[in-house]
């Protein structure tokens, strides 16, 4: 890091007034807003502003002179200047094209280019507007039609395609902000946010569901109704199906990009009756082989 006195071009013994004068003289030449096209000036300005932040402050200057602090890290962080906004965007109240209005009035090719450019600026397409749309998990798999109310009171009808994933962005052409002149409307970009479901989860194109079954369904097997995001279907539970048994419903998952569907996997969970059941208790206490089986034998 260079010496701040050297950067400002003053002696170490300079008075506060001399320092300020030196800083102002350099800043007038190098201020980024007075040199909008000059990246070098901006770099230099950062340096002198940092130097002045250090030795322009009486307290900091004393500590620097005593060697308690050094000049490292004093460079002023990049801030945004007026030029960063004024040159790039013409949609602000300070835009002023009078500096070359006379050029546009002549008849040569350059004037024609200028006029064309002014027309292009006048016919600029509207901005894209971004929105977030929360939907239910089931809607993300099955698809849905949603209506979004915008901050300005307009409503947008959004068709959610089946199988949409979290964070996917839907583009509605021409539903953004109005443009200027013949520029047309921008687009509405709608980012989908999927609310988690109490029962279903999704991994890739497959859907997972934990499904409670009764003791008799688990022991004897049978046909049961299983919810899927696109409606209930019937599934066969094989005899002696334990908690943790996973059954597959082919093609009942999310739609695949390439066509077809993923699968739904159903994990069974055996659930006893809520209230104690005397009949069941009587049976189990007389069920000798059931007592002999210890499932924890398999646990090391």
The interface region with other proteins, picked from 81-89, 153-161, 174-182, 221-229 by CB under 8 A, is: 81-89
- Give me the residues paired with residue 146 across strands: 158
Of 118, 177, 219, 224, the one binding other proteins (CB under 8 A) is: 118
Of 85, 182, 238, 267, the one binding other proteins (CB under 8 A) is: 85
Residue 177 binds to other proteins (criterion: CB under 8 A): no
Residues 6+ apart with CB under 8 A from 87: 36
For other proteins, what does the binding mask look like between residues 6 and 25, x meaning CB under 8 A? -----------------xx-
At closest approach, how far in Å is the CB of 66 from other proteins?
A: 27
d(CA 110, CA 260): 58
Residues 6+ apart with CB under 8 A from 56: 16, 19, 20, 23
- Give me the residues paired with residue 206 across strands: 203
What single-letter DSSP state applies at residue 205?
Answer: T
Of 1, 95, 182, 284, the one binding other proteins (CB under 8 A) is: 95
Residue 153 binds to other proteins (criterion: CB under 8 A): no
Of 13, 28, 39, 153, the one binding other proteins (CB under 8 A) is: 28
Are 224 and 164 contacting, i.e. CB atoms less than 8 angstroms apart?
Answer: no
What residue ranges in 93-229 does DSSP mark as E strands?
Answer: 129-136, 144-149, 155-160, 169-172, 188-195, 200-203, 206-214, 222-226
The interface region with other proteins, picked from 60-68, 109-117, 244-252, 283-291 by CB under 8 A, is: 109-117
Residues binding other proteins: what is the number (CB under 8 A)?
Answer: 37
Residue 120 binds to other proteins (criterion: CB under 8 A): yes
Query: 86 vs 133, which CB is nearer to other proteins?
Result: 86
Residues 6+ apart with CB under 8 A from 62: none
Residue 249 binds to other proteins (criterion: CB under 8 A): no
Of 31, 44, 60, 146, the one binding other proteins (CB under 8 A) is: 31
List helix spans (H) across the chain: 4-8, 16-30, 39-55, 58-65, 82-86, 101-104, 109-122, 137-142, 215-220, 278-285, 288-292
Residue 89 binds to other proteins (criterion: CB under 8 A): yes
At closest approach, how far in Å is the CB of 114 from other proteins?
A: 7
Of 97, 216, 242, 243, the one binding other proteins (CB under 8 A) is: 97
Q: Which residues bind other proteins (CB under 8 A)?
A: 23-24, 27-28, 31, 33-34, 36-37, 79-90, 92-100, 113-114, 116-118, 120-121
């Amino acid at each position: 890091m260079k010496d701040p006195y050297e950067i400002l071009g003053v002696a170490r013994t300079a008075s506060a007034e001399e320092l300020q004068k030196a800083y102002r003289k350099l800043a007038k030449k190098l201020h980024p807003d007075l040199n909008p096209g000059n990246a070098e000036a901006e770099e230099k300005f950062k340096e002198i502003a940092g130097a002045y932040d250090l030795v322009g402050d009486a307290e900091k200057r004393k500590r620097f002179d005593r060697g308690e602090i050094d000049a490292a890290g004093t460079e002023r962080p990049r801030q945004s200047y007026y030029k960063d906004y004024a040159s790039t965007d013409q949609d602000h109240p300070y835009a002023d094209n009078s500096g070359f209005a006379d050029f546009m009035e002549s008849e040569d090719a350059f004037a024609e280019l200028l006029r064309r450019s002014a027309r292009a600026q006048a016919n600029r397409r509207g901005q894209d507007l971004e929105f977030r749309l929360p939907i239910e998990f089931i809607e993300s798999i099955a698809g849905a039609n949603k209506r979004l109310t915008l901050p300005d009171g307009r409503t947008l009808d959004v068709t959610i395609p089946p199988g949409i994933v979290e964070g996917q962005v839907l583009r509605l052409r021409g539903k953004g902000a109005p443009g200027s002149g013949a520029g047309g409307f921008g687009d509405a970009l709608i980012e989908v946010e999927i609310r988690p479901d109490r029962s279903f989860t999704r991994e890739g194109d497959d859907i997972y569901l934990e499904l409670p079954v009764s003791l008799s369904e688990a022991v004897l097997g049978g046909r049961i109704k299983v919810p899927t995001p696109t409606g209930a279907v019937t599934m066969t539970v094989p005899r002696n199906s334990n908690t943790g048994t996973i059954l597959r419903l082919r093609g009942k998952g999310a739609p695949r990009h390439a066509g077809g569907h993923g699968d739904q996997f159903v994990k069974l969970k055996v659930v006893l009756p809520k209230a104690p059941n005397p009949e069941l208790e009587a049976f189990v206490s007389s069920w000798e082989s059931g007592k002999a089986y210890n499932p924890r034998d398999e646990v090391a």
